[in-house]
Amino acid sequence: MNERINAHLKRINGYKYEIAIDELKDSKIVMDEPAPVGTSEGPSAAMMLSSAIGHCLSSSLLFCLDKSRVNAKDLSTDVELSLERNERGRWRIGGIKVKMRPLVDSVDLEKLERCRGMFEDFCIVTASVREGVKIDVEIQK
């Protein structure tokens, strides 16, 4: 069974777009490029990707801890996405570092270690980015 998520982008002005996602009725997201190209009035695609990876990993770890009957008192996650130029001078994502700080009782540390070895595989965003995702692009007239 395949599921689909549909996003619809409508240009507001410059490089700023309003995004509607079918599954989020009446909800809009604004994205923009950083200055000097855009006006920094919303996150860029690279910022959204880093946020998506951080959210997906955090949710996957919490899900594993919940299934292991661990009461996670807190979880904070920092994502550092580095941009670098390739051999043709084009900006690319050079790497992503994620630091997660779960707060659990000492009695649950063994269960946390068990989750550490498996939760990443359940994060669909991180696993997909690591493997590479085929993207078909069509320009319609």
pLDDT tens digits, 95-117:
999 999 999 999 999 999 999 98
Q: How far apart are CA 28 and CA 31, in angstroms?
A: 10
Cβ proximity of 8 and 2 under 8 Å? no
pTM: 0.89
Q: Which residue has the higher pLDDT, 56 or 134?
A: 56
CATH 3.30.300.20 holds for 45-131: yes
Phi, psi of 129 (to 5 degrees): -65, -40
Per-domain residue ranges of the chain: 1-42, 45-131
Q: What is the pLDDT of residues 8-30, one digit of tens each?
A: 999 999 999 999 999 998 899 99
How far is 102 from 73, CA to CA, in rounded Å? 8
DSSP single-letter state for residue 83:
E
